[in-house]
Amino acid sequence: MTAALEADGLGLRYGRSWALADCTLEIPAGRVVGLVGANGAGKTTLLSLASGQLTPSAGSISVLGGRPGSGRVQLAKVGFVAQGTPTYAGLSVRDHLRLGAKLNPAWDDALAQARIRRLGLDPRRRARQLSGGQRAQLALTLGLAKRPELLLLDEPVAALDPVARREFFGSLMEAMAENDLTVMLSSHLVADLERLCDYLVVLAESRVVLAGSVDELLATHHRLTGARREGSRIPRSHKVICASHTERHSTLIVRAREPLLDPTWTVSRLTLEDLVIAYMVAAPPDRTLLGVAQ
């Protein structure tokens, strides 16, 4: 099966600064990918490169077997909902659907009309008259009705209240169940990603520091707590990602495929948020942490 996205040494530079650097990544098709990182880590840059809106300064990127933005066929494969779920304030819901039909050769008008009815959106209302959640649902409808193979969502629910976020993600999960679709979703809301995503990419300081199946990552990362001690006493098979200490205790986040046979440590599981934060605060990124089994 063709990978949804493949990047090799991918980078984008603005002057002397790299917005994304040395990105080597392979994302399997059919996954729901959570893209996580601090502001300025490179999330929007990676999505913009994948959609063909930006051209790499270094390396290469392939999306669904083709170069992003290389022609009508390639453009039709990718849907993109930008940050803030942009819509045209002066256009009605009906106008948005008409515009989508004109711009997208594989447009599924039946799907678009059915979603609008199910969401209770008045086709005559202009986008400026809609709530934030309704605009987000309209933007998602435009992305889905394009019938893409890969849907890119850049912080689609950042400005929404909890109820609107839940409705948005509920709609997205329904759409994924009904369509053969790969989704890449950037968000700061890790709790939402934990319910939705089965694949994770973490960026820090413009580099990919972790990538892999969520189940695999959670199974191979652990929290160790015990009496304060030096990290050198941890077996070589256990990679220390980050550590914190008090006068009496040490807490380590480690990565290992083998159990720790040391009764002086208490081992506990991590949440996805624990895992993400561990890699975001670990600096500098360790290149040996890449190449996660899929």
Instruction: From 35, 44, 10, 39, select the one nearest 25 (Cα to Cα).
Output: 10
Taking the alpha carbons at both ends of the chain, their separation in whole angstroms is 14
Token pair 């990544």 is at which residue? 25
**Tokens at 269, concatenated:** 């599981």
Task: Output the pLDDT for position 262.
Answer: 81
Query: Is 70 exceeded by the pLDDT of residue 219?
Result: yes
Amino acid identity of residue 26, one-letter, is E
283 pLDDT band (50/70/90 cuts)? very low
Query: Is 70 exceeded by the pLDDT of residue 285?
Result: no
Q: To the nearest whole percent, how much of the chain has pLDDT over 90? A: 63
What are 6-65's pLDDT values in tens digits?
999 999 999 999 999 999 999 999 999 999 998 889 999 999 999 999 999 999 999 999
Instruction: Kindly state the average pLDDT of the residues 171-193.
Output: 86
* Pick from 67-71, 168-172, 219-223: least confident: 168-172
Fold designation for 5-213: Rossmann fold (3.40.50)
Q: Would you list the domain boundaries of the chain?
A: 5-213, 220-289
Query: Is 50 exceeded by the pLDDT of residue 275?
Result: yes
**Tokens at 127, concatenated:** 């986008």
Instruction: Kindly state the average pLDDT of the residues 248-276.
Output: 89
Give the residue with greater pLDDT, 190 vs 210: 210
DSSP 92-145: BHHHHHHHHHHH-TT--HHHHHHHHHHHT--TTSBGGGS-HHHHHHHHHHHHHH
Task: Output the pLDDT for position 2.
Answer: 76
Instruction: Kindly state the average pLDDT of the residues 90-102.
Output: 96
Q: To the nearest whole percent, how much of the chain has pLDDT over 70? A: 94
3-class secondary structure, 172: helix
Average pLDDT, the chain: 88
Task: Output the pLDDT for position 292.
Answer: 31
